[in-house]
Amino acid sequence: MKLVIDNVLLPTGTHTLVIEEGKITQVIAESTDQDQIIHARQSDADSWNAAGLVYLPALADMHCHLDKHHTGERWIPLKPFQTLESHLAYEKKLLSELTQTVGERAKVLAEQMIDYGTTRIRTHVDVDPEVGLRNLEAILRVRDELCDYMDIEIVAFPQQGLIRSSSEQIVKEALALGADLVGGVDPAGLDGDMERSLQMMFDIATTADKGIDLHLHDGGETGLATLRRFAELTMEAGLQHRTAVSHAYCLGEQTESGVQPTLDVLKQAGVTLVSSVPIDRPMPRGSQVLDTGVNFMLGSDNIRDAWSPFGNGDMLQRASRMAERENWVSDDRLLGTYSWVSNGKLTPSVGDPADFMLVRALNAQHALASVPARTAVFKKGKRIR
């Protein structure tokens, strides 16, 4: 079925969008192409008047945990973080006391994210000998249920440490079951052996022909050394542009000149950096990452879980926080921030996937600054919210 949406505000003015078979087939400027618009409306098509709503590409959340949040549960008071090991045990205790199943909670959060215009996510899902594959099986079912609304990429994540929790075999089984990437966490700080932990990750990934997304909280020179070795192994394994490191706080702890060599090798290896834009600790400097040319994406990470009571899964809000933290106030910087939370374009072209949202704002810059409600969300050309 053809869909015609009139009066959509793009950066170049008000346009009519024509959508067929999940793709944008026409982008018609309303100021110059009235005959073409009239013809599109007269065809066998559904029509909708956007009344000047601003077009924004659908959003992507490249770091979340669908299996471990408390959304939809009672309010759960948290205790402050002390050590990673103790908090991992605390997290397991809280999760065991939740009333909803993993699948039920995952669907609640995923649908909330869809309401905010997110149609693509990467979720890390816990796997270890104790949890087994239960969480993964639940998330795989949710992925199937929501396939018309959201693309869900899954990382097999040994949260307790790949070596520390003896999770090598269970990660392999998770990949065989349907997980898309190999996960890991703090090869030095938690696993206690940076080289062995990284080698194990890459061995698993290359054997299964999968990518990698590593949680890295380790700071200082330990963190930087881990990043450099990760980049080297990425190139040795031929996994350029298929690996990522999440958090990488160490890149914000030292001077720009001190971390530049590490950023250079990350760019060479095609390693993506992913950040949740923390406000309580250093993070990779956005402008430096941008200037170096390292691919950089944002994610929610903790959303009402054992680690934080904050968060709602709104990636437009997260992008706004990134721009504010970096003091990006010029139009070009504000607009550039969208590339870190979306794979789409601010000005759609014929042939683009019809994955977008419409908001009440003056323009895309204003939307990033003000974070308006999402009036409509479209996936594959169908209105899903």
Beta bridge partners of 382: 379
How many CA atoms lie within 13 Å of 40's alpha carbon, on the beta-carbon side?
Answer: 26
For 157, 176, 358, the CA distances from 137, given in Å and listed in that order, are 13, 12, 34
CB of 200 closer than 8 Å to CB of 234? no
For 41, 43, 47, 268, 357, the CA distances from 1, given in Å and listed in that order, are 13, 11, 11, 45, 19
Burial class (CB in 10 A: 0-12, 13-18, 19+), 300: buried
Burial class (CB in 10 A: 0-12, 13-18, 19+), 262: buried
Both tokens of residue 234? Answer: 């990425």
Beta bridge partners of 15: 8, 29
Indicate the pairing of strand 2-10 with strand 13-20.
Answer: antiparallel
- What is the separation, in whole angstroms, between the first and last Cα of the chain? 18
CA 210/CA 183 separation, integer angstroms: 10
Write the DSSP symbol of residue 298: E
CB of 137 closer than 8 Å to CB of 66? no
In the numeric block, the tokens 């149609």 are attached to 119
Indicate the pairing of strand 356-359 with strand 374-379.
Answer: antiparallel
Comparing CA positions, the residue from 357, 355, 352, 298 lying closest to residue 326 is: 298
- Count the residues in the chain: 385
195: which residues sit within 8 A by CB, 6+ positions away?
187, 229
The residues annotated with a catalytic role in the active site are 247
CA 307/CA 78 separation, integer angstroms: 8
